[in-house]
Structure 1
């Protein structure tokens, strides 16, 4: 299980969300408050790597990631202090599948797309071959790691993510369920995605046979103001932040996204709709 955030709006420095808040993503890599496994145990540490991806003036996003803990990397803090972006995402990893290595760190990228995930596909080692055989042959060389997350991303691209994101993710989830359920009818699929092409930010919260990963969003420019006592610069009006857990206290400025919800965010308009009927 992992923690992540995504932002879209007027350009801001990445450290405004990733390192500066009292409960920033880097702090969550050490002390998560809402990252519970299916047994109800709190997984407070997310130290199996990190990554950031951002869009500025170029169509293809920048990506920086490493397998060391986020709190231990001074380069991350330095880059976040100097990079401004209109859309970006960041991720701290607690591995459930895949080795602790850079190729397994999020976000994953393909052309102008970024993708990050919190959750799991249970029994992935046993269903991996069938899922990966469904990846388009021309995309298979893009598979560099051994996580369920990267496989899901490439499956989504295979099924049309770049043209119809919601439909592609529906087909991806249906493929996973069709593969997993005959193997184990009690198998779990737990998906909390952030995805972007640089112009639109998408999020998915979906769970099958397991308590869903938490997911929140805020369009309130003052969403962190009270908690951080003025230490963090104001967030611009007309922005949207999506998080695994709030960067401050949980309050009315953060809206919980329901399970089985596909969210589309563009120009500060947030549209939440049922994912699978």
Structure 2
């Protein structure tokens, strides 16, 4: 499958998030511990916001090669700061290795990335595509189930109510799957943001969903680990959501419960149950 990282908080150099942790996302591109595949080398992407530029849409960089030896990524990471970062390393589940299939995906000021798959996607693809708003459909660039999930969620009102839109998207996929004799089509961890709020979802139609963790509150970690320099440099509002922990600092990571979603926003972090809805 894939591995991903979402960060919200004090603006940091991307290098501090992508390269410096002991089990960084770059390390995971070769040595993932909790994914289906150890190696995630079928492309990568990063997306970040730079409010000081006066542009509320995120910048996106996506490449088809592996992240572990990309010099451009390393160069950017040492010079770019952001308060909201999405980063994704890809292991294809069957669709082509091409730039437009790399995450994160962007529409206006919104970003989306996904780990998992829609079982039976080939059989369901036509019907799911027809459910996308005709206006939005023109903006789909790639061939992945992940991007189609994003545009279905946009069709169902993602920009107004992300949890309900994602629940309706999953409900449609599951209903369509059952019509094709696929009783458990959905496997996902998803991150979506508008640049100010981050939503993260963990769900599977059946069995265990892909791994997902969130970081402990910074003020609590400072009390546990006063020697950790990085904790002195970030605000109490800073938060990471990751496919697998970036290190082994005791007390730093918490598993996102099955069938749930979290909201990260200044002054508001919360966990909620996630239940698919019929559109």
Counterpart in the other structure of 1:111: 108
Counterpart in the other structure of 2:39: 45
- 2:221 touches 2:231 (CA, 8 Å); kept in 1? no
- 1:97 touches 1:146 (CA, 8 Å); kept in 2? no
| Alpha-carbon distance, 1:210 to partner | 3.5
Q: Please, which moves more after superposition, 231-240 or 106-115?
A: 231-240
Query: Aligned partners of 1:210, 1:151: CA distance in 2, in Å?
Result: 23
Give CA-to-partner distance per residue, 1:93-139, whole Å, 9 cap, x none: 00113100000000000000000000010010110110010000001
| Alpha-carbon distance, 1:232 to partner | 6.5
Query: Aligned partners of 1:240, 1:268: CA distance in 2, in Å?
Result: 12
Give CA-to-partner distance per residue, 1:223-258, whole Å, 9 cap, x none: 69x99x979685513201000001012742211100
Compared with structure 1, are the counterparts of its residues 235 and 195 closer, same or farther at alpha carbon in structure 2 (3 Å cutoff)?
farther
Query: Aligned partners of 2:140, 2:167: CA distance in 1, in Å?
Result: 21
Counterpart in the other structure of 1:255: 254
Counterpart in the other structure of 2:147: 150
Task: Tell me, yes or no, if structure 1 residue 168 matches structure 2 residue 165.
Answer: yes
Query: Aligned partners of 1:203, 1:83: CA distance in 2, in Å?
Result: 24
Q: Secondary structure at the match of 1:139?
A: helix
**Aligned runs of 1:116-195 on 2, under 5 Å?**
116-195=113-192
Counterpart in the other structure of 1:77: 74
Compared with structure 1, are the counterparts of its residues 188 and 235 closer, same or farther at alpha carbon in structure 2 (3 Å cutoff)?
farther
- 2:42 touches 2:91 (CA, 8 Å); kept in 1? yes
Compared with structure 1, are the counterparts of its residues 154 and 203 closer, same or farther at alpha carbon in structure 2 (3 Å cutoff)?
same
- 1:97 touches 1:124 (CA, 8 Å); kept in 2? no
TM-score (ref. length: structure 1)? 0.92
Compared with structure 1, are the counterparts of its residues 160 and 115 closer, same or farther at alpha carbon in structure 2 (3 Å cutoff)?
same
Query: Aligned partners of 1:11, 1:177: CA distance in 2, in Å?
Result: 39
| Alpha-carbon distance, 1:209 to partner | 1.9
Query: Aligned partners of 1:114, 1:29: CA distance in 2, in Å?
Result: 21
Match of 2:235 among 225, 234, 237: 237
Compared with structure 1, are the counterparts of its residues 255 and 235 closer, same or farther at alpha carbon in structure 2 (3 Å cutoff)?
farther
Q: Which structure carries more helix by proportion? A: 2
TM-score (ref. length: structure 2)? 0.91
Compared with structure 1, are the counterparts of its residues 20 and 206 closer, same or farther at alpha carbon in structure 2 (3 Å cutoff)?
same
Compared with structure 1, are the counterparts of its residues 178 and 265 closer, same or farther at alpha carbon in structure 2 (3 Å cutoff)?
same
- 1:120 touches 1:191 (CA, 8 Å); kept in 2? yes
Counterpart in the other structure of 2:33: 33
Query: Aligned partners of 1:208, 1:251: CA distance in 2, in Å?
Result: 32
- 1:240 touches 1:268 (CA, 8 Å); kept in 2? no
Query: Aligned partners of 1:237, 1:160: CA distance in 2, in Å?
Result: 32
Gapped regions of structure 2 (runs ≥ 5): none
Give CA-to-partner distance per residue, 1:72-112, whole Å, 9 cap, x none: 21100110111100111100000113100000000000000
Give CA-to-partner distance per residue, 1:189-223, whole Å, 9 cap, x none: 11100100001000000111232101110144496
Q: Secondary structure at the match of 2:138?
A: helix
